[in-house]
């Protein structure tokens, strides 16, 4: 089930309860004025309705009410300023760096999340952190715009190609939390999900030690090796891929040299000869193609 807590404050992270409080504050103000305006609308519609057979009464001449007009301008303005101020305070708390945070790199790509820990370990679609320890996520995208969203933490941050964005977390409860992509990123957008696993500190240290031993011993599974290749991490005992030379092999397996566009290969010297000039393609009768016809 998704991590959704309607009208139920969450203490999963440092900031979640405050984000819920802002939304409940806005909801309470909206509900009050909705009931007030709709209640008055229904009351006036019933109280001053024209009854059957009753003569229409003359409409009173009302030019305005200065006190009422000032009130309905000042009161909503003050409420909007209060909503903005409350939201700004919580937003600044959410964006304030937490001292001593461990930095974890996050790479979004169609359609998965990759995580790289400070010691070089990596994982796909699974992020493990210790409870009570601050974490700084340094995020970027390999292809298109993504959105890193943890509903249980009430935190979201756009992940952009060619740029780095940041998100600070301070987990306060152990458990597993869903991570979604909140921006439509292609046909596989709905399956771009990951898990945030918050562990007790002792369990996290044990898991971290076991992962380091597997990395040093070279006993990683095929999937785990693929995760390291995804991040370009050098693994001990594995050959590194080198860039292949340009060109295509011929039927005998020999690598052909890449020809330069606009040149043909001279059969005697092996050098490229520009087409349309002396030594280029010949017309019937042995005449060369004039230079001014070379681009026709």
- Stretches where the chain sits below pLDDT 50 are 1-5, 233-249, 251, 253, 255, 258, 263, 265-270, 272-296
* Burial of 165 per CB tally in 10 Å (0-12, 13-18, 19+): middle
Q: H/E element holding 244?
A: none
Which overall architecture, per CATH, does domain 102-231 show?
A: Sandwich (2.60)
> Residues 154-187: pLDDT tens digits?
889 999 998 999 988 888 888 889 999 998 988 8
pTM of the entire predicted model: 0.62
- pLDDT for the residue numbered 146: 93
- pLDDT for the residue numbered 34: 95
Q: Which two tokens stand for residue 157?
A: 């941050």
Q: Which residues, in sequence order, are CB contacts of 97 under 8 Å at separation 6+?
A: 136, 168
- pLDDT for the residue numbered 100: 83
Q: In the chain, where are the structural domains located?
A: 1-45+65-96, 102-231
The span from the CA of 131 to the CA of 202, in Å, is 10
- The residue among 31, 192, 28, 29 whose CA lies nearest residue 106 is 192
- pLDDT for the residue numbered 79: 94
- The residue among 149, 139, 133, 148 whose CA lies nearest residue 198 is 133
- The residue among 12, 15, 18, 16 whose CA lies nearest residue 172 is 12
The span from the CA of 148 to the CA of 115, in Å, is 12
- pLDDT for the residue numbered 18: 86
């Amino acid at each position: 089930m998704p991590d959704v807590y309607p009208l139920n404050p969450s203490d999963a992270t440092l900031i979640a309860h405050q984000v819920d409080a802002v939304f409940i504050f806005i909801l309470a103000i909206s509900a009050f004025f909705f009931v007030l305006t709709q209640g008055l609308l229904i009351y006036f519609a019933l109280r001053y309705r024209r009854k059957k057979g009753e003569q229409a009464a003359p409409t009173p001449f009302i030019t305005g009410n200065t006190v009422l007009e000032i009130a309905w301008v000042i009161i909503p303005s003050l409420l909007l300023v209060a909503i903005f101020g409350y939201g700004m305070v919580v937003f600044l708390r959410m964006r304030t760096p937490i001292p001593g945070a461990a930095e974890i790199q996050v790479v979004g790509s169609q359609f998965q999340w990759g995580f790289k820990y400070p010691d070089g370990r990596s994982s796909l679609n699974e992020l493990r952190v210790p409870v009570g320890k601050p974490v700084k996520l340094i995020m970027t995208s390999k292809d298109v715009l993504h959105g890193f969203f943890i509903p249980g933490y009430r935190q979201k941050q756009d992940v952009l190609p060619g740029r780095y964005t940041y998100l600070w977390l301070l987990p306060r409860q152990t458990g597993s939390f869903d991570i979604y992509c909140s921006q439509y990123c292609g046909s596989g957008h709905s399956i771009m999900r990951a898990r945030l696993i918050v562990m007790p500190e002792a369990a996290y240290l044990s898991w971290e030690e076991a992962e380091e031993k597997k990395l040093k011993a070279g006993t990683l599974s095929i999937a785990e090796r693929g995760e390291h290749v995804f991040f370009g991490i050098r693994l001990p005992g594995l050959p590194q891929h080198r860039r292949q030379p340009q060109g295509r092999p011929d039927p005998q397996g020999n690598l052909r040299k890449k020809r330069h566009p606009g040149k043909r290969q001279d059969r005697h010297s092996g050098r490229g000869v520009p087409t349309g000039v002396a030594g280029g393609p010949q017309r019937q009768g042995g005449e060369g193609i004039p230079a001014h016809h070379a681009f026709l």
